[in-house]
Amino acid sequence: MIDIFSLKVEDIVSKIKDAQLTSVEVCQKYIERINKYEKDVKAWVHFDKKLLLEKAEEADEHRRSGKPTGPLHGIPVALKDIIGTIDMPTECGTPIRKGKSYSQNAEIVDLLLSAGAIVMGKTATSELAYLGPSKTTNPHDHSRTPGGSSSGSAACVGSFMAPLSIGSQTGGSIIRPASYCGVVGYKPTYGLISRNGVLKTSDKLDHIGVFGRSVEDVAMLARVLIKKDNHDKATVHYSTEDMLSETKKGPLFEPKFIFYKTDNWKLLDKKSKDAFEYFIKSFKKNIEVFDTPSYFKDIHKYHQIIHETDLANNFGLYFKKYKKKLSKYMQDAISKGNKHSAKDYAEAIDFMKRSYDSYEEVFEDYHGVLTPSSPGVAPKGLKSTGTAEFNKVWSYLGTQKMLKKVINQLDIPRRQVLVEAVVADISDNDALALGLSTITGSLGDVQTSVQLGATNLMQLAADTITDMTAVINLLASNTTSDILSTPSIITIDNEEAEIIVGRNVPFLTGSFNDTNNSAFQTLERQDVGVTLRIKPQISEGDTIRLDILQEVSSIDATITSSNDTVTSKKSIKTNVMVNNEEMIVIGGLIDEKLTDSEFKIPVLGSIPLLGGLFRNTSQVMEKRNLVIFIKTSIIDYRGNNDGLQKLTDSKYSQIEELLGDKDRPKFTIVPKLYEPHLQEHIKK
């Protein structure tokens, strides 16, 4: 029997993929740990064993069917109970939200699901992610605090009740619990992980972070979550493609670090001081000890002003309606926040910006900062979560600029995705087969494990079709099909693209007469035609998650209205995982129209009066089906692999062939995208 607790997450993923392990087996092992240790650790606030096993079985069935799998397929992940989910409560550590769920998943939850991960349940948090301790104990000594506010998230990993977990940090709520519970905690640079759908305590200070038992495990989870999100304006793009591999082979250049003996150095216990002194001495070639910057002493004051003011703004309603249900910690914080003036808050924000600029200068010559995560081991007692004095500086600064030099050396251009589509309207009055019998005969085998229905999806074998030309030729030769559009879009990874082919039509919205009996109308213009909106997200193994919205609308001339223009519309909105260069078919939207048909004998059927004897009139119900063929291709233009140039040349050759002008001299439409300076930086 495989000992999953001795394996890294990457190894578990590999064994699940190779069918050496199942997700059900993995989850069952963690359930056994929870049954044994949860009564003492108290890390969970919502855990449904039955639901977890059902999700694990679904993950196993997905893999067995041969469908694409994500980088965390079948891996259970725990969530701090401030992260919104549809299918389980999000209570945020307060009785005020008892039994309440969010109306939609947080962005990071959707990213987890897209990566194939399984949400295990919710872990305990300090009240509203602030200071009020949760019920959780330290997994190594139940008389000691696990830290906070991400207490349950750190403790469940530290007690082997979950392989990975997600928490948050506003002061020291990732790094300190990780230190106390003996696990790896990663608080990324501010803006790398979306907070959309997560309880907001302070927009300027809140970070999402992760826990694991190794650096590699943390990297596995972090690279799934690090995505730009348009719904969180703080997020930025950062390439995570090499994140895991770099944890294994180490840096590509000799790193240089700064060690600050901050004013909190005196808080460190003797063993911790001795350990750090030894560490600095052992790596003196790579570490320089600096005096604490003068502006650091003011950061704690300004951090507190921002934090308390934001708590007062965000939880003012709770304070007004449910004050008695709030802890003294929260009551005091909100009361103080209400007393901070707008001038105080503005000054704290302004100081933050000036601190960023000063802090950035450090990384002109250095790659990182070393500092203690806590004064020592977890303190005795459960009435406090310990001090965040060693963490607040870095939460305030957000480490916003600290990776600049590394990014300049290692970052690579974002990959792009080519999306080709064929939108067709197919008539099928015989069998509601959407014309797929014809398609099968011409294009090869069809995977029929998923039946195409009202909103279902059918996936063609990846090796069946190499380009869209075969699809277009097939549909064009079929008299029962009508090609509505063949849009082609190139967009950057994780960026939405849209193409509209149609007309901008005026619609009457009102008619009025003024006091002078002058009549006027108000109009609103809308796009009518074919719209394709798509957002691709590239995952590990070049699998692609597609957010697709396809809409076909037209003016319906068969319906008359005295007041307005009438339109008909067909639309499909779905999310799907596909492999690179794979084609999918989405369809099943059926429209019915009753039409009159007439059969008559030539000449005789046209004779007045007597012609009726030689004519036959009937009504036919015509069914038409909207079918969309979509193929995605990753365009990689790193180094000297100019994928975009090759694509352009290929498309231009196709145009030349269609025009029949093969002897025309070729020329370059798009300039070369080679970026040798990136290679030069890497070599240095």
Q: Which residues are annotated as catalytic?
A: 80, 149, 173
Q: Which one-letter DSSP state was computed for residue 684?
A: -
Asked if residues 425 and 624 have their Cβ atoms less than 8 Å apart, the reply is yes
Q: What strands, in cross-sheet order, belong to the sheet with 164-169?
A: 44-47, 118-123, 76-80, 164-169, 207-212, 184-186
- List, in sequence order, every beta strand (DSSP E) within 237-291: 257-260, 287-290
Rounded Cα distance, 286 and 369, in Å? 11
DSSP code of residue 209:
E
Distances in Å between the Cα of 677 and the Cα atoms of 222, 412, 636, 641, 672 are: 28, 11, 17, 14, 14
Are the beta carbons of 238 and 270 closer than 8 angstroms? no
Element (H, E) at 271: helix 270-282
Q: Which of 198, 223, 201, 228 is nearest to 212 (CA)?
A: 223
Phi, psi at residue 325, to the nearest 5°? -90, -5
Q: Tokens 């291709």 correspond to what residue? A: 633
The DSSP line for 494-549 is T--EEEEEEEEEEEEEEEEE-TT--EEEEEEEEEEEEEEEEEEEE-GGGEEEEEEE
Question: How far apart are alpha carbons 274 and 278 in whole angstroms?
Answer: 6
Q: Is the dihedral of CA 198, 200, 203, 206 positive or negative?
A: negative
The closest of 224, 225, 231 to 203, measured between CA atoms, is: 231
End-to-end CA distance of the chain: 47
Give the residue among 429, 470, 426, 418 at the shortest CA–CA distance from 586: 426
